[in-house]
Amino acid sequence: MGSAKAGPGRGRAVGIGWAEQVGPPSPAGPGRGHAREPLAPEEGPLSRRRQERERRRSGSERPRRRDRQGPPTGEGGRWGGTGEWIKSIIITLVLLVVIRSFLVQTFVITSGSMEDTLLVGDFLMVDRVAMGTRIPGTTARTPAYSEPRRWDVLVFDPAHEDRMKLVKRLVGMPGDTLEMRDKQLWVNGEPQSEPWVRWDDLDGDDEHPWMAWQRDHLVGGVDPGQYRPTRDNWGPLVVPAENYFMLGDNRDFSLDSRYWGLIERWRIEGRALFFYYSYDRTAPTSFRFIREARWDRVGKRIR
């Protein structure tokens, strides 16, 4: 440790190896030395570590952490970030509504009236733009660049059911003369080849009261009073302007235009394009949405 020297003209003691004053300074006086000012603390690693600890204790590091996190995203701090999320969600929902209302629509098959073309559990993508999108709540439509074509598979709103959409095949265009003879469809006097049609009931059926509407559209020369239409034998009748005749591919088990009548142009929603998913909804297994998926149908075009 340091030693102290005393003598004339000396009145202080300085520790050797320490940069700080030991004891009080000597008062100045005649014949004595004057008091030396205390030395500044030594700058070294030990001192810097001590200062660092003091800053941490006093919370001086907190502003640095906030700086690293960046400024608040809005006037409300955290709520500003939440507001941005809410805004993004709202914009996404609006876009989805616009796309679904005016561009494309999805449709799920829940009955077998279009088998084997469409199966129960098929998920369809429907084009609403091509034939003009109907403006909700009205019969007006946006401009179309395509018209319904014979044999199109279409989605439409039937006149006999509110809040329901059906999917059938278009077989009769405006001005066509249609007739069915023993399950064979005739259009304008010509038998039609329909490879997609499925027949299951070979016994036929009797006159159905729902078909009485056909009497108002019979060709000339047919007595409406003697007209007795059945599922497999009806017509000939004429499709009026701006109307279409729809049939299900599963002819023996389909309620279609034979029963509930013609479909007006403004009721057509769009043309079925392709399957975006499919699974067997009737399978007696758990998790059938995944386990019973029909992957071979996914992406397949509907014809």
Q: Tell me: pLDDT of 295 over 60.
A: yes
Q: Which residues carry out catalysis?
A: 113, 168
Residues 157 and 108 in one domain: yes
| Number of domains within the chain | 2
Q: Is the pLDDT of residue 73 over 70?
A: no
pLDDT, greater one: 78 or 227: 227
User: Which tens digit of pLDDT belongs to each residue from 270-285?
Assistant: 999 999 999 999 899 8
Domain co-membership, 233 together with 89:
no
Q: Do 121 and 247 share a domain, yes or no? A: yes
For residue 161, what are the domain limits? 103-297
37 found inside a domain:
yes
**Coil, strand or helix at 184:** strand
Identify the pLDDT of residue 30. 42
pTM beyond cutoff 0.85: no
User: Are 93 and 86 a contacting pair, CB within 8 Å?
Assistant: no
Q: Which pLDDT does position 49 carry in this prediction?
A: 67
pLDDT at 108: 93
- Does residue 199 sit within a domain? yes
Tokens of 249: 């591919």
Going 186 to 241 to 125 to 250, the CA torsion angle's sign is: negative
Q: What number of H helices and E strands is found in the chain?
A: 5, 11
Selected residue with higher pLDDT from 44 and 10: 44
The number of angstroms, rounded, from the C-alpha of 16 to the middle of its chain's C-alpha atoms is 81
Last residue of a domain, which of 67, 102, 137? 102
Task: Say how many C-beta atoms besides its own lie within 10 A of residue 214's C-beta.
Answer: 22
pLDDT at position 9: 43
Q: What percent of the chain has pLDDT over 70?
A: 70
Task: For residues 217 and 85, give the distance between their C-alpha atoms in angstroms, rounded to a whole number.
Answer: 58
Residues 128 and 178 placed together within one structural domain of the fold: yes
> Average pLDDT, stretch 173-191?
97
Could you say which of 72, 102, 132 is where a domain stops?
Answer: 102
Instruction: Report pLDDT digits (tens) over 155-172.
Output: 999 988 878 899 999 999
Indicate if the pLDDT at residue 101 is higher than 70: no
Q: Pick the closest to residue 123 from 263, 254, 257, 295 (CA basis).
A: 295
- Output the CA torsion sign for 108, 275, 126, 88: positive
Asked which of 102, 127, 152 is the last residue of a domain, the reply is: 102
Average pLDDT over residues 234-242: 97
The pLDDT score that the predictor gives to residue 130 is 84
Note whether 167 and 160 are within 8 A (CB).
no
